[in-house]
Structure 1
């Protein structure tokens, strides 16, 4: 803890006994590039540090804030300093780093209070990182906020697997734009938005705020995000009616229905006739295509995204692990939305029996196979 030297014209006290909330400052790109994503209970979409409640309450705190956050993020350790107000009472600025799953500091939580005041409980701050292929890894706080299955630390989760947990994700197109294919559109550098999900029962609704930035280029590009619970601070977003309709569609047994974002090539919804369908486990893995199939898929995404055609049908071969056999599929594509974010609905039919478990060595696939093979009462 280090004292801060100040000028004689000390700040006016914010109140006789100020109570300042936690402020969450993202450091997703680097410790020197910081913005505010949460101020107390209120989300902030990459706001400047001088707009925080801390900076507005004290000019000295405003001067300290940026350097102390950068020091905390660079060292990956809590840091604090003191400063006086006009009443000569010392205030303490406390900073706590939020580590991401790969060791990068995703955010710094900041609190200011009296020297004798106990440190209040920090907000639950999740940290997630996606690869360029859309595979997610996360810290335990994000696992808790996303209500991942017990024992599953969101390691290698796919985009459709993650999004399936949410009832409402109003700006799904904006989120997906972080992963745009270079030949179809420029990928976005940042995105923030809300998402709604239920926890233990249908009435236990929670609103999460997510702020994400992309770092790097090509195969080294990653998307890092900070997640916080803002339940009760604003009205939940409106449901995407197209998505609601797709999730309610009847699906023929032995088939699967996928919703594809054509500018990324990502499947972001994967639906089957029942949770016990062998195809349900495919949502847990990104497919690998053989060379000819990969070319077919890329050309189909481009043709539908650019309006060259509205439908496409082809056979492709996929697998989900290099040790497994190729699986032949029939895929029927239908363009269902154009404009800035074209989407396609895909009817998928395996042309060969599906093995169980689908991916050898995958615990989730094995659990699903065991449930399907269990004797029915």
Structure 2
């Protein structure tokens, strides 16, 4: 019976060159516990790419460049493994025998999307017999044409703890972060004209236990899909140093708000509100997580104003319009004052929204989340 090499023998075999010369050969070295790779599979029509490699963020890098595959023998087995993982919708394993005789285990674990489909995978490689470490948390977000984001269970846990929310509006999503880098790039995914096809960005979030975590987001605009944007949100570890507050966010949230008013930031390229600040003890604060429906007779005026602000032909405007949040509600009259902001390529506007009395009853009044917000404010 052939004696199996012990761990020391295996290391010597791994570092010994094979017979002959092979320019693609590199000695295999066992990886550390951080060497999980996160692969996005957000678009059925695009090649899988790498968005996180160990502790390093990546911007849709090719599979052949991942650190866990230092030679072609391992690298060429990664894509077939991902295909198997996507079809089986479960964890899959592959064993690779190197020319040195070393046996390497490849593991791929699926990242499930909103409906249970596979939208990514975490991949690990290590010596045969070694147990893979715990993979990083990776969730999925998927926006529809109304810019409402559905969340996978993992994404919900990362962004809203133990809440039972299934969807988020843009202001809610951004408010979940302590810091959010490259907001303009993120919003360009939703531009009505010439949206970008893909984007990566970073954020920090304080979890319920008080720890601050680094998050990496990678988003694509899928081709031939009912979704406008899909994204992976990856927890890449705790922050070693407490990050400083985002000055923009800190100033906006300290601005005194008049009773019955709210301040919003509107991305003019997407015509979408992505920030909303109001006094939490007032009903208008709850509009943060309710989707307004404009009155059909006012819609043309809103569209024309947005176009004028976008083109710079107007920098300020004030008008009244009507909105509601449910087909059974009465219309709520609001007076909106718009100010175009000097904000670079992704053009923005500050909007002051004031409720015109009397305010009729609406679904906001009976919303459990709105009630909770008002109770906490009191």
Bucket of the pairwise TM-score, normalised by the shorter protein:
0.7 to 0.9
Query: After the TM superposition, which of the residue ranges 243-252 and 360-369 deviates more from structure 2?
Result: 360-369
Q: Distance in 2 between matches of 1:179 and 1:236?
A: 31
Match of 1:224 in 2: 230
Match of 1:88 in 2: 101
Match of 1:346 in 2: 351
Query: After the TM superposition, which of the residue ranges 70-79 and 115-124 deviates more from structure 2?
Result: 70-79
**TM-score of the superposition, structure 2-length normalised?**
0.86
| Per-residue deviation, 1:366 | 4.6
Q: 1:151 aligns with which of 160, 163, 170?
A: 163
2:47 is the counterpart of 1:42:
no
Aligned 1:22-33 pairs, distance under 5 A = 22-30=36-44, 33=47
Match of 1:117 in 2: 130
CA shift in 2, pair 1:276/1:130, >3 Å: same
Q: Distance in 2 between matches of 1:356 and 1:205?
A: 39
2:147 is the counterpart of 1:142:
no
Check the 8 A contact 1:196/1:236 in 2, yes or no: no
| Per-residue deviation, 1:249 | 1.3
2:81 is the counterpart of 1:73:
no
Match of 2:269 in 1: 263
1:5-53 deviations in Å (ceiling 9; x for gaps): xx997954323x4547111110001275111011112111111111101
Check the 8 A contact 1:195/1:237 in 2, yes or no: no
- The total of aligned residue pairs comes to 357
Unmatched runs of 5 consecutive residues or more in structure 1: 1-6
Check the 8 A contact 2:31/2:125 in 1, yes or no: no
Greater CA radius of gyration, 1 or 2? Answer: 2
2:75 is the counterpart of 1:62:
yes
| Per-residue deviation, 1:357 | 6.0
1:97-138 deviations in Å (ceiling 9; x for gaps): 111113332211111122211122111111111112211111
Q: Distance in 2 between matches of 1:338 and 1:132?
A: 25
2:191 is the counterpart of 1:180:
yes
CA shift in 2, pair 1:301/1:8, >3 Å: farther
Unmatched runs of 5 consecutive residues or more in structure 2: 1-17
2:341 is the counterpart of 1:336:
yes
CA shift in 2, pair 1:114/1:356, >3 Å: farther
2:202 is the counterpart of 1:191:
no
CA shift in 2, pair 1:160/1:99, >3 Å: same
Match of 1:305 in 2: 310
**TM-score of the superposition, structure 1-length normalised?**
0.86
2:175 is the counterpart of 1:164:
yes
Match of 1:321 in 2: 326
Q: Distance in 2 between matches of 1:169 and 1:151?
A: 21
Q: Distance in 1 between matches of 2:240 and 2:302?
A: 40
| Per-residue deviation, 1:292 | 2.1
| Per-residue deviation, 1:234 | 9.2
CA shift in 2, pair 1:270/1:291, >3 Å: same
Match of 2:219 in 1: 212
| Per-residue deviation, 1:197 | 2.4
Q: Distance in 2 between matches of 1:236 and 1:266?
A: 31
1:136-155 deviations in Å (ceiling 9; x for gaps): 11112212221x153323x2
Q: Distance in 1 between matches of 2:31 and 2:247?
A: 45
Query: After the TM superposition, which of the residue ranges 24-33 and 255-264 deviates more from structure 2?
Result: 24-33
Check the 8 A contact 2:213/2:239 in 1, yes or no: no
